């Protein structure tokens, strides 16, 4: 069983690969659309599950609140950017520019989590329960993917 840190890092590595794939595609290609959809659904579910299972534990203790609040605020900014990208045509120069900004911010966010937040969390949360939190994250992420898909279907129906 993986710890929460290993689980989050594995997701981050997948997200980095998807960002690179998207950057390597052009226009409204099927490859870009698929990579974007994979990225969008996975990151949306990841962030929600991370806030509920990991950041809630971190922010429950005063020493973890600054890092937790900062990261949750970044999640909101990134989520807003992804929603904006969903409204722009893939072949538009505006889409590519917004994507480059998103990529830069999200890569920074992942590095900050891994380099700054994880060490604080290890001290604040402690070692007990790291695997339990990792399992809770994975389960919650599965549930969140379903919710993200439902929201996307509702938006298509509008």
Q: Considering only CA atoms, which of 116, 122, 133, 129 is closest in space to residue 70?
A: 116
Judge whether 95 and 89 are in contact, CB under 8 Å: yes
| Per-domain boundaries in the chain | 4-157
* pTM tops 0.85: yes
* Average pLDDT of the chain, as a whole number: 92
Judge whether 18 and 35 are in contact, CB under 8 Å: yes
Burial (CB < 10 A; 0-12, 13-18, 19+), residue 106, is buried
For the segment 92-125, what is each residue's pLDDT rounded down to a tens digit?
999 999 999 999 999 999 999 999 999 999 998 8
Q: What is the mean pLDDT of residues 8-15?
A: 98
CA distance 4 to 88: 34
For the segment 24-33, what is each residue's pLDDT rounded down to a tens digit?
999 999 999 9
CA distance 1 to 99: 34
């Amino acid at each position: 069983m993986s710890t929460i840190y290993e689980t989050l890092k594995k997701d981050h590595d997948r997200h980095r690969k998807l960002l690179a794939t998207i950057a390597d595609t052009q226009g409204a290609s099927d490859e870009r659309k698929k990579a974007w959809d994979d990225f969008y659904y996975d990151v949306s579910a990841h962030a929600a599950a991370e806030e509920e299972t990991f950041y809630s534990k971190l922010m429950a203790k005063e020493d973890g609140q600054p890092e937790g609040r900062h990261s949750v605020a970044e999640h909101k900014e990134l989520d807003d950017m992804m929603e904006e990208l969903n409204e722009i045509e893939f072949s538009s120069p505006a889409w590519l520019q917004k994507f480059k900004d998103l990529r830069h911010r999200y890569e920074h966010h992942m590095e900050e989590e891994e380099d700054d937040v994880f060490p604080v969390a290890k001290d604040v949360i402690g070692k007990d329960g790291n695997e339990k939190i990792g399992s809770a994250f994975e389960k919650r992420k599965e549930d969140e993917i379903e919710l993200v898909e439902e929201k996307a279907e509702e938006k298509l129906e509008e």
